[in-house]
Structure 1
Amino acid sequence: MRIGEVAAAVGTTPRTIRYYEEIGLMPGAHDRAAGAHRVYSEQDVEQLTEILRLKELLGVSLEELRELVADQEARQLLRAEFLDPQTPPDRRRAILDDSAAIVARTQRLVDRRRAALDALDGELADRRERIAQRRGELQQAPAKT
């Protein structure tokens, strides 16, 4: 797929895709000779979709996105090694430990974001309550003419 097709498919702009490549969030396009069009694989599209989903759901910074993408790539490599029938049991246990550490890192990020959202939700509830209270006070106050 070319960059415009990918951008339309995932709901972003070609400029965003180019920027993500520049800062290392995504690998560069494949089969790109000098001056030729960028060509993206299905795996590239899936990775971009995941990046955009994490950015939207978690509201993470680009640096945090880089870490999440690196963790995702590491998990994929670990999974491939784990599924290799020649991988010894001791190494498989180590892979599971490494995978658990990666998932725990991601979970901590999610927990921090959830706590921030919960705090914001509480602040908004307090504001709504104060507004309702002030409305009630105004309705009970004698009208000045």
Structure 2
Amino acid sequence: MSPGPTTAPAPVPVPAGLRIGEVARLVDTTPRTIRYYEEIGLLPAGGDREAGRHRLYAPEDVDRLRDALRLRTLLGVSLDELKELLEAEEARGALRDEWRHGNPDSGRRREILDQALGHVEHQLELLAGRRAEIARLERELGEKRDQIRARITEQP
């Protein structure tokens, strides 16, 4: 299984009603990964289909899967952390829609901003933790490199 793209793919229109194999090819993963992401709640499970019928994926499902795979690969986060990042992103999207289309009064606008800020701060905390782990690994590898170089210079 390929981990998926690490850079944002160029926006490509995704037709509605794709089957799981088509989605898997489109985002460079496997149907098994898609089913697992549905099972653990990273993707909506599409429970509105008739029994015995194949699930059809909407463009929004493909976008969310693409985002999940990209973040997982890019950040190396756990599935729980990935779920938190995606949930925060969805919550901010809902707040953004309410701001733009809900005509909130000034009090509610302040609440929306406070909630959006909280989601962004939580996402930044997750990223800072990942960055600290990477910096720690980088220091360890640098020390090992220095030790190896020292041993090389000690050799006759």
Of structures 1 and 2, the one scoring higher in RCO (CA 8 A, sep 6+) is 2
Aligned position for 2:83: 66
Once the 2 structures are TM-superposed, how far is the Cα of residue 48 of structure 1 from its aligned partner? 0.5
Aligned position for 2:135: 118
Report % sequence identity.
50
Report the TM-score when normalising by structure 1. Answer: 0.90
Larger radius of gyration: 1
Aligned position for 2:69: 52
Q: Which has the higher helix share?
A: 1
Report the TM-score when normalising by structure 2. Answer: 0.84
Aligned position for 2:33: 16
SS at match of 2:155: helix
Cα deviation digits, residues 125-144 of structure 1 (max 9, x gap):
111111011011013xxxxx
Q: Distance in 2 between matches of 1:84 and 1:77?
A: 10
Task: Output the aligned Cα RMSD.
Answer: 1.3
Aligned residue type for 1:76 = G
Q: Distance in 2 between matches of 1:31 and 1:41?
A: 13
Runs of 4+ in 1 over 4 A off after TM superposition: none
Aligned position for 2:20: 3
Aligned residue type for 1:105 = H
Where in structure 2 are there 5+ consecutive unaligned residues?
1-17
Cα deviation digits, residues 28-66 of structure 1 (max 9, x gap):
237622111111010000000111111112211111122
Q: Distance in 1 between matches of 2:25 and 2:46?
A: 16
Q: Distance in 2 between matches of 1:57 and 1:103?
A: 18
1:78 and 2:95 are equivalent in the alignment: yes
1:37 and 2:54 are equivalent in the alignment: yes
Aligned position for 2:42: 25
Once the 2 structures are TM-superposed, how far is the Cα of residue 67 of structure 1 from its aligned partner? 1.4
Cα deviation digits, residues 57-93 of structure 1 (max 9, x gap):
2211111122122212211111111112521121111
Aligned residue type for 1:28 = A
Q: Distance in 1 between matches of 2:109 and 2:103?
A: 10
Q: Distance in 1 between matches of 2:52 and 2:31?
A: 16
Aligned position for 2:150: 133
Which stretch of the first structure deviates more once superposed, 112-121 or 63-72? 63-72
Cα deviation digits, residues 7-46 of structure 1 (max 9, x gap):
1111110001001111111102376221111110100000
Q: Distance in 2 between matches of 1:58 and 1:87?
A: 35
